[in-house]
Structure 1
């Protein structure tokens, strides 16, 4: 038991305080348990053959098919409309997003909605910071409605059936979440405006939620030498402003409109991502620090893209220069935003961190090539005028509906239904085989497979029973208080490690508690299922929260302010409703 406790403590500490990849740390923990004889090889690898692994992999392919053929984009534009107030806009946004995330991976839903919402909010004249965090929260809640809405629900239901003989119905989580969802939506619609940051003047460059500092150089012999700032058309830019000029290694601030440009000047602009797009179209300017001429893509095939760095980005903690973006991704870093604000200093010297938003110049196929790479949480193209072919959208939607019906009415197990849906997506050309392979998140599947082995270890060594007894002691033997302690412990673990790992580790501990108290285990399963996904207090607790931090320009405190009431709502609602629906 001591080896198991030490291994788990080391794993949690490494996850919380180091930058090593999550899957590597989990593999290390399982290897330690194997080498010390705590678990046998068959027990270590059993999780990788669990139906949950195949179900999740298939659902990734289904989500990729819906996204690639434009079905998600088509649905979002159909439902969003043109509301005339922020509250009506939020209402139009939250309901379809919540319902979509109940049958699709919420990360895929967010990846589709973020660029759509940015364009939609801009068209309506609203700040997108009022929409993106509520969107993340509602997709988290919506994902809890069904067994396939989030990987955590699948894992807990799979464990319940395979290890404890408890079968959870497809819509069972909705019995708890459905009453809470409209309350949360009402709160987000009416209080987001008060609690989330925004600027009064949405047209000024300073008000842009996602600011960059971009540097462009005056190309010798291209006609700008000798022209004033005004004559060059750089005085009244729509999406940014000229802040400084570097000339002969000297910085000139407070640039006057009559100041004359010289060949070789480096012009420093501050503004939104569209500012760089506007500057690329001015003859005589080129990116100053990006070595754009070394990008092996013809000028006509270049575009601007934004990416949000994930925890799997291999160059975290290194500078832009050390990351060799042009070599590794055939893209040039034009600017970096940290938590929605411009990063200062020379581009090449900026240290890259998880959650940073990068403005890139790349080939027009960059988004398609890297949208499923685990290096980035989000990849979106700016001002994308490429028309999406929606011809296959009805087919993809029909396949999704088929998977839901087969699972909901128990015609086939969820794993078989999902695998059938993934096969149909490829067979009907809704998604290509290559994109289907790239869409599968191997990191998540690896962590889940290893987590099963850790779960086996804490049961086998008696660690689950010991931890369960500790929680019972804290709960003074009352089942309802014990249920609350399980919720709080699971929720804290989710913030420290991952939602999937927290769920797998807490299921056997909850089983031990239920057995000791002599009560029904089912409400404990539901509580673990919901608590493991209910992460609203930090940007790092859930992937969708981190995805919107850069684009929305949010600070850590913004998540806490908006997320605390929803966290309390979910905790009280889940602990009260679960034993009413599944009595002790």
Structure 2
């Protein structure tokens, strides 16, 4: 071998070592290695950039856009609540999660799918006090197994498809590999469910959000015309929410305490919940529920640009001793109080009728600039933004799901090839 070959081997070894240390992001290591070979003239520019024009790479990028649309619209949130919401054992949770994930992975590339489901599954596991390790590995395996059932299931399938077409051979059909992939998928799911309790690690996170003693009081309203109207509280999935308790229902001024799970929801019902902050955030993502205060719709910025913020009221706050409604909180701070927590005390008043005290923790909906504006303010002791708390655009969820179905259908029926269908879907 000549010097260029030895240099290339040495660079590959160095890259593997850097990747193993996890001190640098893989994209930096790989791009740095490519740039080094390109600068030394070992790798021609045409070959260095050829991968960017590969149909398989472009297809994966388009599928990532489709997956992001499902996340931004909350298209998978309700499905995940149905899949995992009422499981009674870890094997049952694993079976339901893997079946759901494998089915999706057959039509969505497994890499963006796992990235999409990971925070949802992790949050649910923490709330149910299930070790996340009991679900994370099954989630990954299910995505891999489901990807073996269709052409678009994994990036490997797409690369093989590209090589076949480049060699002048007929490409694979959309479901052609399912004859082998589907039996392997079913066998893999059964193996994990039956033997997972002995094979999977049982690691608990060192600190659980549920150890936080703060209980927020939050008031939500059932939107007229929403899917929740006419359902019982149990059918709507509001009875056994992890980390959350439905304290009472206010219906046209009449308070219904100790609400029966058979009680049917009506339009404009005001639901008073008590629970931890993570569960209160989840409430904002349930389709058909909205904050009971109409002040949310009077903020300057669109809701898609807002975030949730925690703020602790100081003794210098001008609103101390006044109710949230009397203090005109929105007018003063351009933010809306969604929930209130007070030293573990269970507040039974409506949000607008709560009299603020020093030390109260407020969950606010506001523009991200609120954090910088109030960080050094004397009105609040502490101001922090809650990460991963977006407001899904539920009104467009049907469009995201229809686009995904149309992409898969057009490819399966042979009307479009995968690259064309994925680019149209991403557009």
Paired with 2:405 and 2:190, the residues of 1 have a C-alpha distance of 28
Change (3 A) 1:363 1:95: same
Change (3 A) 1:141 1:50: same
Change (3 A) 1:35 1:2: farther
Does the CA contact (< 8 Å) of 1:15 and 1:22 recur in 2? no
Paired with 1:99 and 1:68, the residues of 2 have a C-alpha distance of 21
Using the TM superposition, give the Cα deviation of residue 281 of structure 1 relative to its aligned residue in structure 2, in angstroms: 8.3
Using the TM superposition, give the Cα deviation of residue 64 of structure 1 relative to its aligned residue in structure 2, in angstroms: 0.9
Paired with 1:122 and 1:24, the residues of 2 have a C-alpha distance of 32
2:211 to 222, 225, 239: 239
Using the TM superposition, give the Cα deviation of residue 27 of structure 1 relative to its aligned residue in structure 2, in angstroms: 4.2
Does the CA contact (< 8 Å) of 1:81 and 1:92 recur in 2? no
Does the CA contact (< 8 Å) of 2:134 and 2:202 recur in 1? yes
Paired with 1:39 and 1:125, the residues of 2 have a C-alpha distance of 52
Does the CA contact (< 8 Å) of 1:70 and 1:393 recur in 2? yes
Change (3 A) 1:300 1:13: farther
1:445-479: CA deviation from partner (whole Å, max 9, x where unpaired): xxxxxxxxxxxxxxxxxxxxxxxxxxxxxxxxxxx
Change (3 A) 1:194 1:21: closer
Change (3 A) 1:25 1:2: farther
Does the CA contact (< 8 Å) of 2:147 and 2:154 recur in 1? yes
Using the TM superposition, give the Cα deviation of residue 75 of structure 1 relative to its aligned residue in structure 2, in angstroms: 2.3
Matched, 1:104 2:108: yes
Which has the bigger relative contact order, CA under 8 A and spacing at least 6?
A: 1
Matched, 1:12 2:16: no
1:74 to 55, 75, 78: 78
Change (3 A) 1:122 1:54: closer
Structure 1, unaligned stretches of length 5 or more?
200-208, 214-236, 242-271, 286-296, 304-328, 331-360, 368-379, 424-584
Matched, 1:52 2:52: no
Residue 304 (structure 2) aligns with: none
1:157-188: CA deviation from partner (whole Å, max 9, x where unpaired): 21332245352222344333222111211121
Using the TM superposition, give the Cα deviation of residue 299 of structure 1 relative to its aligned residue in structure 2, in angstroms: 9.6
1:196-247: CA deviation from partner (whole Å, max 9, x where unpaired): 3438xxxxxxxxx22249xxxxxxxxxxxxxxxxxxxxxxx96169xxxxxx
Using the TM superposition, give the Cα deviation of residue 16 of structure 1 relative to its aligned residue in structure 2, in angstroms: 2.1
Calculate the TM-score normalised by the size of structure 1: 0.41
Q: Which moved more, 1:392-401 or 1:80-89?
A: 80-89
Paired with 2:192 and 2:27, the residues of 1 have a C-alpha distance of 34
Matched, 1:363 2:385: yes
**Two-structure CA RMSD over aligned residues (Å):** 4.1
Does the CA contact (< 8 Å) of 2:56 and 2:162 recur in 1? yes
For this pair of structures, how many residues does the alignment match? Answer: 277
Using the TM superposition, give the Cα deviation of residue 418 of structure 1 relative to its aligned residue in structure 2, in angstroms: 0.7
Structure 2, unaligned stretches of length 5 or more?
214-275, 282-309, 316-332, 340-370, 373-382
Residue 63 (structure 1) aligns with: 67
DSSP-derived class of the 2:394 partner: coil
Report which of the two has the higher share of helix. Answer: 1
Paired with 1:152 and 1:34, the residues of 2 have a C-alpha distance of 26
